[in-house]
Amino acid sequence: MKASKRPSFSNMVFWTIVFFLFLPLLVLLLYSFNASRGGSFTSFSTIWYERLFLESPELWKAFGKSVIVALGSASAAAALGSLAAVGTSRFRFRGRGYVAAMSFMPMILPEIVVGVSLLVFFAAIGLKLGIATILIAHTTFNIPFVFLLVSARLEEFDSSVIEAARDLGASELQTLVRVILPMVAPGILSGWLTAVTLSLEDFVITFFVAGPGSTTLPLYIYSAIRFGVSPVINALSVVMVAGTVLLVYPSRRFLKAFASRA
């Protein structure tokens, strides 16, 4: 398909970028099979994978915490964001503008400001830093994405269906559960998935609101990078990239929707 066209400037740029984007990942792959610790490649070995899976309990504990935080905060954000999206798109009321504006702000503000302000806030109200504060912080930065995606989904729909349900005697709760939610389910799902991804990924905000004993995976990787490079991180990276590929590849036809959202 591509061969039929002569290489254009934009295509050359595209493939150069793909090379640029993948180069670091290929280097990680290469070094993850390096027998020696750091430095140049010496000989092939799978020792770092063995260490990763068999001798890294701290790492897996951090991974577990990350998963708990991601699922918890994404679900909380999905609940709050979806309801607010339904409310602001269907009704006019006092404070609607405030809620809508506030729903964008955490997404626009630089991460470090969100992190520092939450840290100062938690200190001011005397909440001890730990899993709870991480959950609160992640829910806060996840809300905008769910809100945006569900709002967009609601806009696409014919609201007369909702009015019809109400006219035919459905209560507000029945309308919500049996008409609106099924309608916006894809929006909620993609918002939830985005939130899970962002939460698993977040380092900067988590760095500020985490306390001792609440190390998430990004925090674990950070300390591994800062205090002595361990090739186990190479192996972990390869496993994570492979996981991403396996997860994304089957759903690549939906990537366009993802791209339009970004």
Partner 1 sequence: MRQRNFGPIYALPQGLWLTVFFAAPLGIIVAYSFLAKGLYGGVVPQFSLAAWHTLGSPILLSVALRTLIVSIVATAITILIALPAGYSIARSRNQPMRLFLIIVPFWTNFLVRVYAWISILGAEGFLNDLLRAIGIIDSPVQFLYNQTAVVVVLVYMYLPYAILPLFSTIDKFDFTLLEAARDLGASKFDAIVRVLLPNIKGGIVTAVLFTFIPIFGAYAVPLLVGGKDSYMLGNIIADQVTKTRNWPLASSISMAVTLIAALGSLAFLWGSRRPSPALVVDSAEDQGLVGPDTANAGSRRGIS
Q: Return the residues of window 43-72 that contact partner 1 according to CB under 8 A.
A: none
Binding mask 74-93 toward partner 1 (x if CB under 8 A, else -) reads -----xxx-xx-xxx-xxxx
Q: Is the dihedral of CA 252, 254, 256, 261 positive or negative?
A: negative
- Identify which of residues 6 and 253 has a Cβ nearer to partner 1 in the complex: 253
Q: Is the dihedral of CA 249, 254, 260, 262 positive or negative?
A: negative
Q: Which range of residues in 47-55, 56-64, 67-75, 203-211 is near partner 1 by CB under 8 A? A: 203-211
* 8 A C-beta contact, residue 220 and residue 200: no
Tell the smallest beta-carbon distance from residue 104 to partner 1 (Å). 8
φ/ψ of residue 215, rounded to 5: -75, 120
In terms of Cβ atoms closer than 10 Å to its own Cβ (0-12, 13-18, 19+), residue 195 is buried
Binding mask 123-142 toward partner 1 (x if CB under 8 A, else -) reads xx-----------xx-xx--
Tell the smallest beta-carbon distance from residue 87 to partner 1 (Å). 3
Contacts (CB under 8 A) with partner 1, residues 149-188: 149, 151-153, 155-156, 166, 172, 186-187
Query: Nearest-CA neighbor of 203 among 127, 134, 142?
Result: 134
Residue 29 tokens, joined: 């792959």
Rounded (10°) angle between helices 57-90 and 217-226:
130
Radius of gyration of the chain (CA): 23
Tell the smallest beta-carbon distance from residue 66 to partner 1 (Å). 10
Contacts (CB under 8 A) with partner 1, residues 11-30: 11, 13-14, 17-18, 20-25, 27-28, 30
Applying CB under 8 A, what is the total number of residues that bind partner 1?
115
**Element (DSSP H or E) covering residue 55:** none
Tell the smallest beta-carbon distance from residue 15 to partner 1 (Å). 9
- Identify which of residues 46 and 159 has a Cβ nearer to partner 1 in the complex: 159
Counting runs of H as helices and runs of E as strands, what totals does the chain give?
Answer: 14, 0
Does 106 participate in binding partner 1 (rule CB under 8 A)?
A: yes
Q: Which range of residues in 42-50, 51-59, 67-75, 241-249 is near partner 1 by CB under 8 A? A: 241-249
Tell the smallest beta-carbon distance from residue 5 to partner 1 (Å). 9
- Identify which of residues 53 and 258 has a Cβ nearer to partner 1 in the complex: 258
Q: Which range of residues in 46-54, 56-64, 67-75, 229-237 is near partner 1 by CB under 8 A? A: 229-237
Q: Which residue's entry shows tokens 């830093």?
A: 129
Amino acid at site 243: G
